[in-house]
Amino acid sequence: MMVYEIDGTRFSTLEECVVIPESDPVTHNLDAFDDVLRGGFGTPDEGFTLLWKNHEVSRRRLGYPETVRQLELRLARCHPTNRIRVSRELEQAQAQQGPTVFEWLTEIIRDHGPGGRYAADGVDLLLD
């Protein structure tokens, strides 16, 4: 099985985070990142392992300050019908509540692994 390594010491923001080599950084679109994990977009169709080295560094760097920044960016460009929801998420992040960017990413990845909604995709996340 193919193993992709993510090194938490190599990025500090979501824009810098490249989970799959030769793919766009995650932030171009979290929905597209979700699609990449299904296979066939430069990733193996039969599944793979993501080994996230130094994940605690990423957990800190992609914590609430980065989450607030990302939600501010999202609020500035989201459709008017989504502004109330994004504003609530931003208020929660400012109060250090709710999921962080790190948790957004790990949740998306885990959805494609054992017990996830798309478990058949066969993506295993190992936090090191």
- Provide the residue ranges of all domains of the chain, joining segments of one domain with +: 2-63+100-127
- For 29-71, write each residue's pLDDT tens digit: 788 888 888 877 677 888 899 999 999 999 999 999 999 999 9
- For 74-107, write each residue's pLDDT tens digit: 999 999 999 999 999 999 999 999 999 999 999 9
Cα 21 from Cα 42, distance rounded (Å): 9
How many other β-carbons are positioned within 10 Å of the β-carbon of residue 126?
A: 13
Cα 72 from Cα 89, distance rounded (Å): 10
In the chain, what is the straight-line distance between the N-terminal and C-terminal CA atoms, in Å? Answer: 18
**2-63+100-127 fold:** Barnase; Chain D (3.30.370)
| pTM recorded for the entire structure | 0.91
Of 30, 77, 64, 54, the closest CA to residue 126 belongs to 54
